[in-house]
Structure 1
Amino acid sequence: SVFFQEDARQQYCDLIGSLVAAEGGSATSVGAQPAGSSSSQYETLLVTTENNITTIKLNRPTKKNAITTEMYKEIIAALEQASSDSSVITVITGAGDFYCSGNDLTNFTKIPEGGLEQMAKQGGELLRQYIKTYIDFPKPLVAVVNGPAVGVSVTVLALFDLVYATERATFHTPFSQLGQSAEGCSSYTFPKMMGHAKACEMLLFNKKLTAVQACDLGLVTEVFPDSSFQKEVWTRLKAYAQLPPNSLFLSKQLIRSTERELLHRVNDAEVERLTERWLSDECFNAVMNFFQGRAKL
């Protein structure tokens, strides 16, 4: 397989490393240090609790909140912390103009001593745990989508309880373009939510949705004018956070209980397929072509 040829591997790393450098990043950097965060243990997030709301803000605005390996781990930790704190609801949003641009380029440069097979195995286990954290999250979980969303940040939205989006937001899952496959339980949640044909348009054929289109298909709860987005959404969330917490908690458990085991099985199956895809020639060539296309821009 071309994936195990040393020269191809080196070419892959060199190309991505040069792209990261061209974008002003570092192959070893993990993100911006949050200024004035109430939870200083996080390097890539701003985590605050106020008015019975824990807010997890993706805090790499200069990188369009692209998710590094470290960021995956921090989001898992922040959600686990929020699940047992005193807040009533938990919110995830992004700093700056983007909600999240999907995986960071640097994730593909850190090949461990065990080689690409080990990288795929580690990446698969991290993704499995990441999605599991959303499936099992016990409190009402709200996405405040402040701008464009890409990849896994889109697919996991179907595991949230509310998704509020600005009219500027777009939703894009370019998995087949990168030789990959569905993740975030979307192979189950998307067809169930929007019907088989519309789900395939997104997951197989990379269709990018506007906020209004995503709302019409059930992925987004409500769309707001960009000029009043933050004010309208947070006014509403502060009111929701005054509702009886045990009632919200128990009601969510009832709603999720009918599908929790199924969602875990879907997550396991998707991760297994993705791990295979990451080690395939087809995925390698698709990712290389994508990055080379970006390098020419």
Structure 2
Amino acid sequence: MAASTLKRFITTGIIQRLAVNATRGIHRTVPTMAGVDDKFKEAKNRLNTLKEDPGNAVKLQMYALFKQATTGKCNAPKPGMMDFVGKAKWDAWSGLGDMTQDEAKQKYVDIVDDLAGKETPTSTPSSSEEKTSTSKFQTINVTITEGVYKIMLNRPEKKNALNFEMYEEIGNALREAGQDDSVVLAALTGSGDYYCSGNDLGNFMNVPPDGIADMAKNGGVILERFVSSFIDFPKPLIGLINGPAVGVSVTVLGLFDAVFASDKATFHTPFTALGQSPEGCSSYTFPRLMGTAKASELLIFNRKITAVEAMDRNLVTEVFPDHAFQQETTARVAKFAKLPKQSLQLARNLTRDQQRKVLHDVNQQECDVLVGRWQSEECITAIMNFFSSKGSKL
């Protein structure tokens, strides 16, 4: 039942919207320029140089435009009903209707230009005492400065949404920081105007040939390992919440030792709205931090709270004005990193060691529940409605 629902979701939901998006502007006058072919060829080459994966929805739209630009109106036989990928591609191409080849080329060029314009170059540290290990990672930026291992979520064009690769890379970075003797503490923050927009729902588009059950189980393993990397981190861990935080990026904050937030930050865990359930050990840590009733507002009833409200509920340590956030938190973290390293770690682990087994048990239980949720009709319908609410946004 879940597989058939997913098929309908892919072939009648997203694809129809992509077809509408791609055909918008058919009646708009597109100059038939002598250079349109050259621009199209250049766009094809530029697409291969992009560092960020544009996501399945955009890639599907570009496939359809490429076929329309090079072949014309869809002339291929419709794939069988069980060929989900082939049918998705066919529907996207067929949905372009009578769009001319020149219009398709121009639309293709416009999308590549937009994608290229969104890519943000990684800044190079100026301090001679700072070393970077960004070459190891694609979705995060890591710097090590005077004992501070700073992990910056680095998908600003996606509001730092967590795809499967980012889950793995954050976990790997925390393990690296834990094993590096030069590291006193670690800090997490986000690039751009968001801290993290939560789980990238595009993860649900990558359905393997074996079906949604295997995707759900694999997602559960990735999530369990990700949260475990926070539970087992052996050094102080600080959150620098520079903007809105959603989903798992909020729930794991109960595993941090200090959380500093900009006054522009908000905290939102819309699990039930998406047919899902809490994770990040929040079913255990949130009631302990803020009491059952206040925790339920977030975890069950989807309430979004401000940074000041999060501080009142003991989820945030201190709130700073946004204009002073970077300066204030950098100074605060640097001061912590100058404390005696061994004493700092021993004091921290005395509290964590008492809870570690409980946290791992809670983490496993939460992941088991989520694996079931991801395969449910209710969850798939909620995610379909989420994408529908995005309208023409890709």
* Fold in common (TM above 0.5): yes
SS in 1 for 2:390: helix
Task: Summarize deviations over 1:28-71 as a string: whole Å, max 9, x none.
Answer: 79x97745482111111110100210100001111111111111
- Whole-Å Cα distance in 2 between the matches of residues 231 and 33 of structure 1? 22
Please give the secondary structure, in 1, of the residue aligned with 2:371.
Answer: helix
Determine the structure 1 residue equivalent to 2:244: 148
SS at match of 2:188: strand
2:269 matched to which residue of 1?
Answer: 173
Q: What is the aligned counterpart of 2:54 among 25, 31, 38?
A: 25
Residues 1-297 of structure 1 mapped to structure 2, 5 A cutoff: 1-5=1-5, 7-8=7-8, 10-11=10-11, 14-15=14-15, 18=18, 25-27=54-56, 34=122, 36=124, 38-39=132-133, 40-85=135-180, 86-295=182-391
Q: Contact 1:3 / 1:280 at 8 angstroms: preserved in 2? A: no
Aligned residues: 294
Question: Where does structure 2 lack aligned partners over 5 or more consecutive residues?
Answer: 23-52, 60-114, 126-131
1:205 alignment partner, SS class: coil
Query: What is the distance in 2 between the residues matched to 1:62 and 1:205?
Result: 29
Q: Secondary structure at the match of 1:295?
A: coil
Contact persistence 2:174–2:229 (CA under 8 A): yes
Match of 2:32 in 1: none
RMSD: 2.3
CA distance in 1, matches of 2:2, 2:188: 39
Of stretches 219-228 and 99-108 in structure 1, the one that deviates more from structure 2 is: 99-108
Q: Following the alignment from structure 1 to structure 2, what is the Cα–Cα distance between the partners of residues 16 and 180?
A: 25
1:200 & 1:15 partners in 2: Cα distance?
A: 36
Is the contact between residue 34 and residue 43 of structure 1 (CA under 8 Å) also seen in structure 2? no
CA contact (8 A) 1:16 1:109 kept: no
Structure 1, residues 184-243: CA drift from partner, whole Å, max 9, x if none? 001111111101111111001100010000000000000001111111111111111000
For residue 287 of structure 1, report the CA deviation from its aligned partner.
1.0
Separation of aligned partners in 1, 2:16 and 2:145: 40
Q: Contact 1:33 / 1:43 at 8 angstroms: preserved in 2?
A: no
Change (3 A) 1:7 1:95: closer
In the alignment, the residues of structure 2 paired with residue 35 and residue 113 of structure 1 have an alpha-carbon distance, to the nearest angstrom, of 39
Larger radius of gyration: 2
Higher relative contact order (CA 8 A, sep 6+): 1
Secondary structure, counterpart of 1:55 in structure 2:
strand
Report the TM-score, using the length of structure 1 for normalisation.
0.93
Q: Distance in 2 between matches of 1:112 and 1:12?
A: 19
Sort the Cα spacing of 1:9 and 1:117 in 2 relative to 1 into closer, same or farther, 3 A: farther
Q: Which runs of 5+ in 1 are unaligned?
A: none
Return the TM-score normalized by structure 2: 0.71
CA distance in 1, matches of 2:363, 2:284: 9
2 CA distance for matches of 1:11 and 1:279? 18
Paired-residue identity, %: 49
**Is the 8 Å Cα contact of residues 61 and 95 (structure 1) preserved in structure 2?**
yes
Report the Cα distance in structure 2 between the residues aligned to 1:244 and 1:128, rounded to whole angstroms: 32
Alpha-carbon distance, 1:25 to partner: 2.8
CA distance in 2, matches of 1:56, 1:12: 39
Change (3 A) 1:274 1:13: farther
- Residues 205 and 5 (structure 1), Cα distance of their counterparts in 2 relative to 1, 3 Å cut: closer
- Residue aligned with 1:131, SS: helix
Q: What are the superposed Cα offsets for residues 161-200 of structure 1, whole Å, 9 maximum, x if unpaired?
A: 0000000000000000000001000111111110111111
Residue by residue over 1:256-289, the C-alpha shift from the partner in whole angstroms, topping out at 9 and shown as x without a partner, is: 0111100001001100000000001111111111
Tell me if structure 2 keeps the 8 A contact 1:121–1:275: yes
CA 1:235/1:183 → structure 2, altered by over 3 Å: closer, same or farther?
same
Residue 2 (structure 1) shift: 3.8
